[in-house]
């Protein structure tokens, strides 16, 4: 389904990525039931369609175009794609030239999979409160601690890990390979919607100093710079999910008869559809505006927070309204609306919960009024 308002921000190269993702969509695994083999198969399919090439240049608008399409078919694959970018971008920003030359082209071909290991039991939205430590020993660092809710776990080859080094608020970033002694990937965690997600444990894990990304103590800056790029793209995924739900609800309303006429003839149903379409149009434009500003080389703390907040909340409302139109059928397993209802919920939490985005927006407003 096409939204009524065409985005003025998308150019031919962005639309080409969107087309590739849209054509790939029906082949993508969803969750029936999810196993790690599905995640690896998803990586192969997305790589064959050339989608990871958008992460090589890290153009936010291209990533948005892809995520909108992927999320409409599979929240699982959208998450894998996004975390490939989150995990590899700190390497692009702060890795050695040799490491970048070796791994980034392989990531673009889907031959190497990355993960982004920031969250901990005591450090979710409060990213500065990390407890994982990295102490310098000669030409290496020794990591101890644990991470929680780490996406792409089990299918990733490399984990971008953030840990506290010497000093009160000194956080550094490290690239840790699967199989490194002292590094353990836990069993898969079950959520509302299946994803390759697990806890990580570091126990006297020795990482060469050459695998530190950026300068010591600059890890939080790297993390925030990465989130600054990808935060608006979360909104694109929410738009894709909402758009899919709206299209399915519209088709159902036009074909399902109640009280002697199609559901669509009921004004209450028309209002639900109209409200969703309006909010999704607005969300899409906010997302594309934030991505466009970022691609222009400007910091988008405010724009990205506004886009993520509005789009994820609007996507949730659109799916909720769509499920209401489906009625009892909408909550049956195997129905796309039921899957979307579960998948959309996490988007309002990860990469900064909605409440965190409100704090960010308010702080940016205060700065602009000085």
Residue by residue, pLDDT tens for the chain (370 residues) are 555 568 899 999 999 999 999 999 999 988 766 778 888 999 999 999 999 999 988 899 999 999 999 999 999 999 999 999 999 999 999 999 999 999 999 999 999 999 999 999 887 777 778 899 999 999 999 999 999 999 999 999 999 999 999 865 689 999 999 999 999 999 887 777 777 889 999 999 999 999 999 999 999 999 999 998 899 999 999 999 999 999 999 999 999 888 888 999 999 999 999 999 999 999 999 999 999 999 999 989 999 999 999 999 999 999 999 999 999 988 888 889 999 999 999 999 998 899 999 999 999 999 986 5
Return the pLDDT at 216.
93
Within the chain, residue ranges assigned H as helices are 12-24, 36-48, 53-57, 60-73, 75-94, 97-108, 219-255, 267-295, 301-326, 336-343, 354-368
For CA atoms 175, 181, 186, 188, the dihedral sign is positive
pLDDT for residue 269: 95
Which two three-digit tokens encode residue 9? 């921000």
Name the helix (H) or strand (E) containing 140. Answer: strand 140-151
Q: How far apart are CA 74 and CA 39, in angstroms?
A: 11
> Would you state the structure tokens that stand for residue 250, as one six-digit string?
């519209």
Length of the chain: 370
Q: Is 257 a catalytic residue?
A: no
How does 202-212 read in b/e, with b if 16+ C-beta sit within 10 Å? beebebeeebb
Report the C-alpha gap between 315 and 334 in whole angstroms. 20
Q: Which of 44, 351, 355, 364 is catalytic?
A: 351
β-bridge partners, 188: 198
Pairing of strands 114-117, 158-164: parallel
Element (H, E) at 161: strand 158-164
Is residue 82 within 8 A of residue 230, CB to CB? The reply is: yes
Q: Which two tokens stand for residue 27?
A: 């082949």
* Domains of the chain by start residue, with CATH: 12-108 (1.10.540.10), 114-218 (2.40.110.10), 221-368 (1.20.140.10)
Would you state the structure tokens that stand for residue 319, as one six-digit string?
């799916």
Would you state the pLDDT for residue 33? Answer: 66
Is the Cα dihedral 21, 23, 24, 27 positive or negative? positive
CA distance 210 to 177: 13
Pairing of strands 171-177, 158-164: antiparallel
Burial grade of 229 (CB within 10 A; 0-12, 13-18, 19 or more):
buried
Rg (CA), the chain: 21
Total-model pTM: 0.93
β-strand partners of 114:
158
Distance CA 40, CA 208 (A): 28
**Cα–Cα dist 229/61, whole Å:** 10
Q: Which two tokens stand for residue 138?
A: 């000669």
Tokens of 128: 């500065």
Say how far apart CA 369 and CA 348 lie, in whole Å: 28
What is the rounded distance in angstroms from the CA atom of residue 326 to the CA atom of residue 334?
A: 13
């Amino acid at each position: 389904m096409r939204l009524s308002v065409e985005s003025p921000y998308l150019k031919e190269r962005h639309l080409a990525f969107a087309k590739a993702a849209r054509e790939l969509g029906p082949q993508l695994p969803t969750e029936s039931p999810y196993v790690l083999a599905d995640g690896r198969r998803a990586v192969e399919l997305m790589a064959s369609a050339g989608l990871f090439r958008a992460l090589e240049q890290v153009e936010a608008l291209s990533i948005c175009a892809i995520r909108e399409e992927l999320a409409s078919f599979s929240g699982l694959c959208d998450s894998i794609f996004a975390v490939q970018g989150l995990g590899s971008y700190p390497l692009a920003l702060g890795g050695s030239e040799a490491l970048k030359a070796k791994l980034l082209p392989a990531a673009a071909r889907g031959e190497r999979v990355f993960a982004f290991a920031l969250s901990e039991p005591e450090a979710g939205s409060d990213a500065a409160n990390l407890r994982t430590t990295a102490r310098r020993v000669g030409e290496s660092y020794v990591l101890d601690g644990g991470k929680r809710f780490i996406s792409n776990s089990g299918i990733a080859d490399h984990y971008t890990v953030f840990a506290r080094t010497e000093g009160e608020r000194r956080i550094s970033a490290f690239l840790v390979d699967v199989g490194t002694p002292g590094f353990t990937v836990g069993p898969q965690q079950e959520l509302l919607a299946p994803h390759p997600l697990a806890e990580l444990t570091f126990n006297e894990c020795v990482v060469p100093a050459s695998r530190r990304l950026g300068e010591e103590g600059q890890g939080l800056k790297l993390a925030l710079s990465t989130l600054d790029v990808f935060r608006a793209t979360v909104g694109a995924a929410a738009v894709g999910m909402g758009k899919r739900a709206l299209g399915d609800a519209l088709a159902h309303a036009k074909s399902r008869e109640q009280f002697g006429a199609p559901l669509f003839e009921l004004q209450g149903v028309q209002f639900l559809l109209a409200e969703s379409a309006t909010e999704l149009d607005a969300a899409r434009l906010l997302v594309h505006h934030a991505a466009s500003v970022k691609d222009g080389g400007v910091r988008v703390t405010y724009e990205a927070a506004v886009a993520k907040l509005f789009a994820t909340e609007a996507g949730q409302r659109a799916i909720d309204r769509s499920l209401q139109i489906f009625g009892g059928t909408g909550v049956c397993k195997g129905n796309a609306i039921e899957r979307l209802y579960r998948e959309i919920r996490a988007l309002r939490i990860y990469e900064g919960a909605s409440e965190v985005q409100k704090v960010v927006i308010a702080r940016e407003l205060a700065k602009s009024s000085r």
